[in-house]
A = this chain, B = another copy of it.
Amino acid sequence: MCETDGPASAANNGVAGTQSRPNRSNPYQPVGDHLSNLGRFKIIESTLREGEQFANAYFDTETKIKFAKALDEFGVDYIELTSPAASEASRQDCIAICKLGLKAKILTHVRCDMRDAQMAVDTGVDGLDIVIGTSSFLREHSHGKDMAYITKTALEVIEFVKSKGLEVRFSSEDSFRSDLVDLLSLYSAVDKAGVNRVGIADTVGCASPRQVYDLVRTLRSVVSCDIETHFHNDTGCAIANAYCALEAGATHVDTSVLGIGERNGITPLGGLLARMVVTSPDYVKSKYKLHKIKEIEDMVAEAVEVNTPFNNPITGFCAFTHKAGIHAKAILNNPSTYEILNPEDFGLTRYVHFASRLTGWNAVKTRVGQLGLTMTDDQVKEVTSKIKALADVRPIAIDDADSIIRSFHLTLQENGTSAPHGTNGVAANGIST
């Protein structure tokens, strides 16, 4: 399922033959690693479970149904719900969502406990995500159980869920602070018992990408079932960790919309897809309705009363805004020079910022054209220097820059068509990497 090198496009922006080496359609594609699932991962969308643990979250039944339908339409593979054991309304909501007849499979996330499992099975879900803490921290300070008890209980609950014909995942909590031998022994046992997925959870957000890769790769060699992964974002690595988990052979990634969840949350749905569409564009674009991502994020942001972060991947207000002059020039020539994501894939548009002192004449030239005016390059350079001079004194808006351009153009008309000279030094100097 991995991307393969296509032949170099014949069109290729007309530059065939001018490059010393052939262009590749996507230089970031996986390089034939048969364990990698970068091009065939599945999403377990947990806004209605992990997301409910976000400080501001309160989802009534109507909201939950609205989210579930939107996520289903977006194309997620699974929708995970809060345990029916959490409260009576949680239980009723599980039942209601199971009755919607969505394409996505419905899961609920329950403690490794027979009573919770029974209650979950009775709601009509397609599967149970079972969890128990395995780190010494949690074994001591949370549930107080030892590994023998955990293994025994896990096997009982798994057998029960399987006997009901449902999917079952078994996950540790705080996997990266659990003893490796304990973890592998436990997962090997539940794999043999026929669990559908084992789960690796970075419950506290401490894991680093190469550590994730190593653990998942090791686990991949121990179990034959699918591997689900869950990454908290306390240290800002939740997207990268999910990516490395897929490289190592994980099959499923837990997400929530905008990453909402306990503390500062988990791998965000939109951010993960920003990462994955770069690596596996055909798979991601064919499977998920990417142009819906802003609408879904806005819906969830409104429900939990937060703003979409200014720097959010894809939908942050400036994600496709180019400001430095040298960027603007290249972007206007070919957007892929300074863009790895194409805003059109998400139903969005790019914006080349020209009203600042970092602007360059190429950006201003484009604006002159947008205003329906005609100038020579030297004239554009002269008006660029006027814009930069004002922007040195105070912040300027598009209107300010437009006024300068229009006023300058008027002067040109009054003076006839002669082009001013001597301003070639005003090149694009806003440099960036």
Contact = CB atoms under 8 A, between A and B. Distances in A.
Interface of A: 15, 18-21, 23, 27-28, 49-50, 52-56, 58, 60, 82-83, 85-90, 109-111, 116, 131, 133, 136-138, 140-142, 171-174, 177, 179, 199, 201, 203-206, 208-211, 213, 230, 233-241, 243-244, 247, 258-265, 268, 271-272, 274-275, 278-279, 306-307, 309-313, 316-324, 326-327, 329-330, 333-334, 336-341, 353, 356-358, 388-389, 391-395, 429-433
B340 A234 contact: yes
B204 A357 contact: no
Contact of A357 (B89, B140, B307, B393): B89
Given A56-B318, A234-B340, A430-B53, A279 B27 contact: no
B313 A235 contact: yes
Q: How many copies does the complex hold?
A: 2
B201 A433 contact: yes
A271 B240 CA distance: 14
A209 B240 contact: yes
B237 A319 contact: no
Nearest to A350: B263
A244 B171 CA distance: 27
B137 A336 contact: yes
A140 B262 contact: no
Contacts of A311: 233, 258-260, 264-265, 309
A384 to B, nearest CB: 11
Nearest to A244: B209
Contacts of A320: 263
8 contacts: A21-B136, A28-B211, A53-B327, A58-B395, A86-B430, A262-B322, A262-B327, A264-B313
Given A140-B19, A236-B275, A307-B307, A321 B433 contact: no
A309 to B, nearest CB: 3
A239 B233 CA distance: 11
Contacts of A140: 15, 18-19, 334
A228 to B, nearest CB: 10
Contact of A208 (B54, B235, B279): B279
A137 B111 CA distance: 52
Contact of A275 (B136, B237, B313, B326): B237
A356 B210 CA distance: 37
A209 B210 contact: yes
Contacts of A338: 203-204, 262-263
A433 B266 CA distance: 10
Given A201-B433, A265-B311, A141 B330 contact: yes
Given A240-B237, A311-B259, A323-B55, A357 B206 contact: no
Nearest to A313: B236
Best-buried of A136, A391, A431 by chain B (most CB within 10 Å): A431
Contacts of A87: 357-358, 388-389, 391-392, 429
Contacts of A313: 233-236, 264
A262 B136 contact: no
A235 B341 contact: yes
A54 B318 contact: yes
B138 A330 contact: yes
A240 B236 contact: yes
Contacts of A20: 136, 179
A426 to B, nearest CB: 10
A49 B241 CA distance: 29
